[in-house]
Amino acid sequence: MNCTNTRALDGRTVAASLLALLLTSCIATADAEDVESPEPIGTTVYAITVGEAVGAGCSTTSVKGLALQIVDQVNCLKPGALSKVPDLGNVTFGAAAFPYMQTAAKTHFVDALNAKPSTAMTVNSMLRSLPQQYLLYRWYKAGQCGITLAAAPGNSPHERGVGVDISQHSTWQSTLTAHGFTWQGSSDPVHFTYTGSGTVDMNGLSVLAFQKLWNLNHPTDKIAEDGDYGPQTESKLKVSPAEGFAKVADCSAPTNNKPKGYLDGADCDKIWGWAQDPDTPATSIAVEVYIDGAIGDAKAQKLSLKASIKRDDLCTPLGSCEHGFEVETPAALLDGKSHTVRAYGIDSKSGPAAELSDSPKTLKCSAPPPATDAGASDAGAVDGASQADAGGHQAGDAGHSDAKAAHDAGNADSGSAGGWESWGTGESSGCSLGTGGSGAGWWALLAALGVIAARRQRAR
C-alpha cells in the first residue's frame, strides 16, 4: 500500500516538474535585439511538421533535421559555399547555433578567433536555414518567445551564411572589423556581417534548396524552383517534416540546368529575345517559337531558329554575348486577329525545353489593304504606263490623275507570299517576272506600254 502511494506521488511530482519546465522553457533567456533577436534556447520538442513546431516550443533546434538537409542541398547547388566553423578553444556555440558560414567568411572568422586565443567568445546564432528563419519570423509576428523583430524568410543575412551574433560584441568588435566583418551598430549590437571579399551570391539559395528537396520527395506535387519565398513555398514548408525528408540531396548526381532567357517582345514587325543554357554558357542554343499554342501542340505554328545574335547588353550578366534571337513577324499574322506568341529555349543536354520568361505575348496586327486588280481599266493602265514610260517626264494628256492607280496595282503584289514556310528567310521577292509576287505588277506595266505604243501609232 505504501509502495503504491509512493509511486503515485512520484508520478504526480514528475508530472508537475515537467509542466513547470515546459512553462518556463518558452521564456527567452537572451536579451531582445532591435533588428533581429537571437535564437531563443528553450525546450526542444520534435514536432511532426514545421508548422506544428511554431507552437511546440521556443527553440529552432526542433527543425534541425530539415535544416541540416537544406545545408547539404545548398552545398550541392554551390559546392563549397558553406563550411563548418571548427571547434576552437576560445569559442562556444549556443544550443541553437548552427556553426556554418560561407567559406570565405568562415576563414576570416577563424582568423579573428586565432588573433585573440585567450579571449572567450559565445556565438548565439550563425547560419540559419529556411525553416529556422520561418520559426523566428512566426514567433516575432505572434509576440512569442521573446523575439522582438525578425526578418521574413529568405531575407536574413544569417540565411546567406555571412551573419553571426555574439554575446561579447564590444570585446570582439575591433578584431572582427579588422577581419572583414561589419558591426550592425547600436540598433543590433550583437550582430556582425561579413562584407569582405570571396563571398558568393546566396540570395534565395536556402529557399531554392528547400524547393528542390520538396520536389525530390513529391514528384507529383512539385513547386517552382525559383528561389523566391511566396505563398506556394510557404504552404509546403509548413507541412514538411521537421526532422527532414526521406530523400536527401545527392551531390554526385549530375545536374542539368534548364535554359533561361526572355521573350523581349513580339509586335507587327518582329519577334525577339534571348536564350542561354547555363550548362553551356558560351554556346548559342536553339529556340523554338510557337504561334497560337504551346510546345507539343499539333495545331500551333512553329518556327525554329538559333539564339546567336550578339547583344552587348548580355555580355556582362551572362558572361558571353551571342545569345540574342530575332525574326520577322510572319505576314500570315497580319490579319487583324489576336495571336499568342510563345518562345522556348532548347536544352543542350536533350532535357526538356524551357519556356522563356515573359512568354507568352499577344499581338494583333491590322491586315494590309487589298491588292488592286492591275488590269481593272484600260484607261488606268494607259495612264499608269504613261507615268512609268516617261521616266519622270510627262508622256501625254491621257488622264494623269489616274497614273498612280496603275503603278500601285503593280506594287500591291510585291510582298512575300505570307505563308509559314517563308518564316525567317529574310528574302525579298525581288523583281521576278514570274506569274505571282511582284512579277504581276511588271507584267501589268509592260501591257500598258504596249497599249500606249499602239495608240501612238494610230495617232500618227
- How is residue 357 written as a grid cell? 520568361
pLDDT at position 445, please? Answer: 55
Per the model's pLDDT, the better-predicted residue between 361 and 2 turns out to be: 361
| pLDDT exceeds cutoff 50 at 41 | no
Residues 200/102, Cβ–Cβ less than 8 Å: yes
Q: Is the pLDDT of residue 247 over 60?
A: yes
Position 136 scores a pLDDT of 92
Of the chain, the percentage scoring pLDDT greater than 90 comes to 51
Helix segments in 239-377, DSSP class H: 312-318
pLDDT of residue 452: 55
- The answer to whether position 266 is within a domain reads yes
348 located within any domain: yes
Q: How far apart are CA 121 and CA 169, in angstroms?
A: 9
Domain that holds residue 172: 23-255
Structurally, the chain folds into a number of domains equal to 3
| One domain, residues 133 and 36 | yes
pLDDT on residue 201? 83
224 with 309, same domain? Answer: no
Residue 160 maps to a domain: yes
Question: Are the CB atoms for 306 and 323 separated by under 8 Å?
Answer: no
- Averaged pLDDT of the chain: 78
Amino acid present at 395: A
* Residues 271 and 287 both lie in one domain: yes
CA distances (Å), origin 346, targets 266, 272, 390, 419:
19, 16, 56, 25
Is residue 372 a part of any domain in this protein? no
In this predicted structure, which of 111-120, 379-388, 440-449 has the lowest mean pLDDT? 379-388
Residues ≥6 apart with Cβ < 8 Å to 213: 69, 70, 73, 245, 247, 248, 249
For the residues 285-292, what does the mean pLDDT come to? 97
| 15 has a pLDDT exceeding 70 | no
Question: What confidence tens digit (pLDDT) does each residue in 251-265 have?
Answer: 776 678 899 999 999
User: pLDDT tens digits for 206-241?
Assistant: 999 999 999 999 999 999 999 999 999 999 999 999
Domain assignment of residue 221, yes or no: yes
Q: Quick one: what percent of the chain has pLDDT higher than 70?
A: 70
User: Which residue type occupies 48?
Assistant: I
